[in-house]
Structure 1
Amino acid sequence: MTPLSRTLPNWSPEAIVFDCDGTLMDTERHWQDARTRAFRDFGLQTPPGFAERAKGVHYLDCGRLMAQETNKPDLASDFSTALLSHFMSLVAEDPVTMPGASEFVRLCWHRLPLAVASNCPMEVVDESLLRAGLRRYFRHVVVPTVQRDFDESHETPDDQSEQPVRPKPWPDVYSRASSLCGVAPRSALAIEDSLPGVESASRAGLRVLGVGPLPKEGSGQADAWAPGLDSEQVLSWVRMRVPVRATDSDEPRKNRGPA
């Protein structure tokens, strides 16, 4: 783990963009259960080590991976549909935040703009954050707007609002989120728990704080890695480097809808 004090000592972000699953919401276990149930729907067993390979992967890509690893290429779409259906049911039954996430978000909200960049569909992110009482703190939520494969040569319109937003590890969700917050990517901090998310944020030009257990492959392109949002080192860094804003001192409106 790279200490925060060595990588972000004198730098103050102008916005923070959070991943949702595994960073704000304790949903990775729901994804794992959903994958297991989806495999069982088709009479199949979960391949060994699949949970690690699927972490942070968009659910459509995960469906394709499930089909590939079980030699059932024709089931890719069916796997994706079953996976999302099971996941949404599990989230609705048990919306739980990651340790320290609620307190950290409230601490940061008094200081600078916050956004969420997720690979999940909008209805999943909104429902999770609403049930956890966190949706009101985020000015913007950015999710992929396209579900097909892209390559580097794909042309997009000049109008930013018309450009498709590709899933992580593409940089699009983080680029769009920082833009909506009104800051340059280099002035924003991304908080992520998975290597595909870290790669996405890094490619977009954000500095990246990884949180949670360090992946087996290491910290990747993260600038620093901490055990969680309840880490005293992380909390102290925010209090020291990010001043409280002079306005917006009250709680945000509870009925604030999606951005």
Structure 2
Amino acid sequence: MTDTITLTGWSPEAVVFDCDGTLMDTESHWQDARSQVFRDFGIHPAPGFAERAKGVHYIDCGRLMAQEADKPKLAAEMTDSLLRHFMVQVAKDPVTMPGATDFVRRLSGRLPLAVASNCPLQVVESSLDRAGLLVHFEHVVVPSEANAGDGKGEPVRPKPWPDVYATAARLCGAAPQRSLAVEDSMTGIESALRAGLRVVGVGPRPRPEDAARADVWVPALNAPALSAWVESWTAHRARE
């Protein structure tokens, strides 16, 4: 799939963003945190671990790290250490992804915006706030055992389960099939698709069969084709 927008003639009623790697440039922070945990525990990860861990909920990542080290009993300890190191990194360096700030500001006020993330709520809100983006989002949805914000108090499971995206669309007052997800990881894309959203994939293009899972794939949120498509939304709504 090329960067050509294939959703011409369709416009969303709500947009739901992933946070890490989509809005905030935090993937390097997760990598640094994972590396530090491995060093702290004297463990050498197997090749390709960073890619396997991308987009994975931090608790599941801690379990995965312990499994790869063949030390499953250390999962809880490694998870706590992972989150602690990550939060230190984010506090030091809250950097947005290319084009993210302008893209969010362009959409802000035009339609409901939400964030659906696998990170803890405190991490998502603090990083977005430090970047000046939190004010633009009506809802931030993260995994929880009982999410009071969904109006039902039901558990919200992490990606790749559909819960965070389904909940975010509902809170925005939009049907999933009329909502757009913006994602950088295959874990997140799977979550959005299972919830019924259309998907814009962002970042380095993965292998063709993975890129084809998204409706559109662009290198960054400042891609000209993406900007032109967004500008067409007003005209499309006027015809509906």
TM over 0.5: yes
The CA distance in 2 between the partners of 1:242 and 1:34, in whole Å, is 42
One-letter code aligned to 2:86: F
Instruction: Give yes or no for contact 1:18–1:116 (8 Å, CA) kept in 2.
Output: yes
Residue 79 (structure 1) aligned with residue 78 (structure 2):
yes
Please say if residues 45 and 68 of structure 2, whose CA atoms lie closer than 8 Å, have aligned partners that are also in contact.
no
Is 2:214 aligned against 1:215?
no
Does the 8 Å contact 1:32/1:51 carry over to 2? yes
Cα 1:82/1:36, change in 2 over 3 Å = same
Task: Give the match for residue 200 of structure 1.
Answer: 191
Tell me the secondary structure at the aligned position of residue 105 of structure 2. Answer: helix
> Which consecutive residues of structure 2, in runs of 5 or more, have no partner in the other structure?
none
Question: What is the CA deviation profile of residues 15-59 of structure 1, one whole-angstrom value per residue up to 9, with x for unaligned ones?
Answer: 100000000000000000000001111111232111000000000
**Cα distance change of structure 1 residues 145 and 99 upon mapping to structure 2, 3 Å threshold:** same
Cα distance, 1:204–1:128 mapped onto 2, change above 3 Å: same
- Counterparts of 2:151 and 2:196, CA distance in 1: 17
TM normalised by structure 1 equals: 0.86
How many residue pairs align between the two structures? 233
Q: Decide whether the 8 Å contact of 2:180 with 2:198 is kept in 1.
A: yes
Partners of 2:16 and 2:181 within 8 A in 1: yes
Given that 1:169 and 1:199 are in contact with CA atoms closer than 8 Å, whether structure 2 keeps it comes out as yes
Q: Distance in 2 between matches of 1:15 and 1:119?
A: 20
Q: Does 1:240 align with 2:222?
A: no
Counterpart secondary structure, 1:218: helix
Q: For the Cα contact (< 8 Å) 2:113–2:137, is it kept in 1?
A: yes
Measure how far apart 1:161 and its partner are: 1.7
Task: Confirm or deny that 1:115 pairs with 2:106.
Answer: no
2:67 paired with 1:68:
yes
1:2 offset after TM fit, Å?
Answer: 4.0
Could you say which residue in structure 2 is the equivalent of 1:228?
220
Partner secondary structure for residue 44 of structure 1: coil
Letter in structure 2 aligned against 1:196 = T
Shift, 1:215, TM fit: 2.4
Deviations 1:123-177 (A, max 9, x none): 0000100000000000000000139xxxxxxxxxxx9522100000000000000
Amino acid in structure 2 at the alignment position of 1:166: R
What are the equivalent positions in structure 2 for 1:134-213 lying under 5 Å apart?
134-146=133-145, 161-213=152-204
RMSD, matched Cα: 1.8
Deviation at 1:205, TM superposition (A): 0.4
SS of 1:120's partner is coil
Shift of 1:226: 0.5
Native 8 Å contact 2:144 2:156 kept in 1: yes
Mapped partners of 2:202, 2:145: distance in 1: 27
> Is the 8 Å Cα contact of residues 117 and 141 (structure 2) preserved in structure 1?
yes
Extract unaligned runs of 5+ from structure 1: 148-158, 246-259
4+ long deviations beyond 6 Å:
none
Letter in 1 for 2:124: V
- Report the AA paired with residue 134 of structure 2: R
Residue in structure 2 matched with residue 105 of structure 1 by the alignment: 104
Match of 1:28 in 2: 27
Deviates more, 1:63-72 or 1:234-243: 234-243
